[in-house]
Structure 1
Amino acid sequence: MSPFQDRSKARKNKQKSANFKAKKGHLSKSPSQPGKTSRGLVRIIAGTHRGRRLPVLVSEGLRPTSDRVKETLFNWLMTHTTGAKCLDMFAGSGALGIEALSRGAAHVTFIEQEKTVAEQLNNNLVTLREADKAEVVMGNAYSHEFDSAAAYNIVFIDPPFGKEMVEKSINILLSSKILSPNALIYIETAHSDEYAVPSCFSLVKQIKTSQVFAALFELNT
């Protein structure tokens, strides 16, 4: 058993923002070196928007995935991203979901509870002309009412460090029945964060950097 499977043991204006949902109602619908991201910016590594830099707000707890880890993750997902339906549960800058859109994902749902961060994410999607393939939900991933017909192929779980949110997130995915057969779940945590992954998931890939643990799991069906 991988330590990631039991870490307690060994841890989303031309389109008028038509897809931006608030928690209560609608608000209407030369590159850097790998591993480096300019302050207040995230860089799209590959795909349709390769090399584009997008502004992100400096906000407490907002920690975009580094270019190094992001590149590794999407190498893992290389044969799975095109046409995929994705969920970014703790979107923040939206770096992971936007990278997925750039690489051909069919749709990404972004969930972000900070209003200003969600608005910036929505603006970036409009700038990229990707708003028709995305939905930004301003709210909490734990209280969001998911559509059981969603059938997400890829889910990104990259919550604030040190909050013990991974296991609860996985339980919500399973209880809401929103995963497609053989769905892929990406988890990124700090070294000190603990979590256990249910036995219905198998470890696919994992990486440890100086700052994070990252792992990709597949739902067994």
Structure 2
Amino acid sequence: MRIIAGDARGGRLKMVPGKHVRPTADRVKESLFSVIGPFFDGGKGLDLFAGTGALGLEALSRGLDHVTFVDDARASVDTVKENVRLTKMTDRATLIKRDARTYVKTLADQEKYTVIFLDPPYHEGFYETILTCIGEKELLTDEGTLVVEHPSKLEMPGKIAGLSVYRQLSYGDTAITLYEYSQT
């Protein structure tokens, strides 16, 4: 696993020990970032269920100013911390060891993110709960994107809590659904 583009391009990332984390494949990351904008002109990101931190670190490398990484597993938080250090982006990252669902509920309504990555464990069934919370709290900027990685067999809601799907990408067993604020 590596950083594909930007300031930290080519940087190798550590994996979380064990088999409970399913990192986003480089080909999926590359395709995703070509869709959501290969580079960012500043802004903030939120990487929920961060795992290795690969998505948030890729966004930092491509120009986001700051990313908050949230995961409740000590092994994941330690791995993200090491990956942030390896990519030399410690001053642009905040690590939070907490359940992502609880963390989102505590965010102030005025918090705004350019991009939010949501990549929970596939065996959990709480997509709608966290999508609803993100939408109701209006955590995205007006032009922001919510990136949801999920099993391709899982049907994601087309509209939920003011968010609507604007694109879906599929890569075998993995799918990514992109949300933005509804225009209507």
Aligned mates of 1:78, 1:117 — CA distance in 2: 27
Task: Pick from 130, 146, 163 the counterpart of residue 185 of structure 1.
Answer: 146
State the SS of the aligned residue for 1:43.
Answer: coil
Aligned mates of 2:6, 2:153 — CA distance in 1: 33
Task: Pick from 118, 123, 126 the counterpart of residue 162 of structure 1.
Answer: 123
Task: Pick from 21, 29, 51 the counterpart of residue 70 of structure 1.
Answer: 29
Amino acid at match of 2:150: T
Task: Pick from 174, 195, 198 the counterpart of residue 156 of structure 2.
Answer: 195
Post-superposition offset of 1:164: 1.8
Query: More displaced, 176-185 or 136-145?
Result: 176-185
Counterpart position of 2:175: 213
Amino acid at match of 2:146: I
Query: More displaced, 96-105 or 111-120?
Result: 111-120
Contact kept? 1:162, 1:192, Cα under 8 Å? no
Amino acid at match of 2:130: S
Amino acid at match of 1:151: K
Deviations 1:173-218 (A, max 9, x none): 1233322223211111112334324173333322212121112121
Amino acid at match of 1:82: D
Contact kept? 1:161, 1:193, Cα under 8 Å? no
Number of positions where the alignment pairs a residue of Structure 1 with one of Structure 2: 180
Post-superposition offset of 1:87: 0.7
Task: Pick from 6, 15, 18 the counterpart of residue 56 of structure 1.
Answer: 15
In the alignment, structure 1 residue 149 sits paired with structure 2 residue 106:
no
Post-superposition offset of 1:113: 0.6
- In angstroms, what is the RMSD of aligned CA positions? 1.8
Distance 1:132 1:149, change over 3 A: farther
Post-superposition offset of 1:146: 1.4
Counterpart position of 2:96: 137
Query: More displaced, 145-154 or 189-198?
Result: 189-198
Query: More displaced, 53-62 or 194-203?
Result: 194-203
| TM-score calculated relative to the size of structure 2 | 0.89
Distance 1:202 1:175, change over 3 A: closer
Contact kept? 1:182, 1:220, Cα under 8 Å? no
Post-superposition offset of 1:57: 1.8
Counterpart position of 1:114: 73
State the SS of the aligned residue for 1:53.
Answer: coil
Aligned mates of 2:22, 2:180 — CA distance in 1: 25
Contact kept? 1:111, 1:137, Cα under 8 Å? yes
Post-superposition offset of 1:92: 0.4
Aligned mates of 1:105, 1:149 — CA distance in 2: 19
Aligned mates of 2:154, 2:12 — CA distance in 1: 30
Contact kept? 2:135, 2:162, Cα under 8 Å? no
Q: Which has the larger radius of gyration?
A: 1
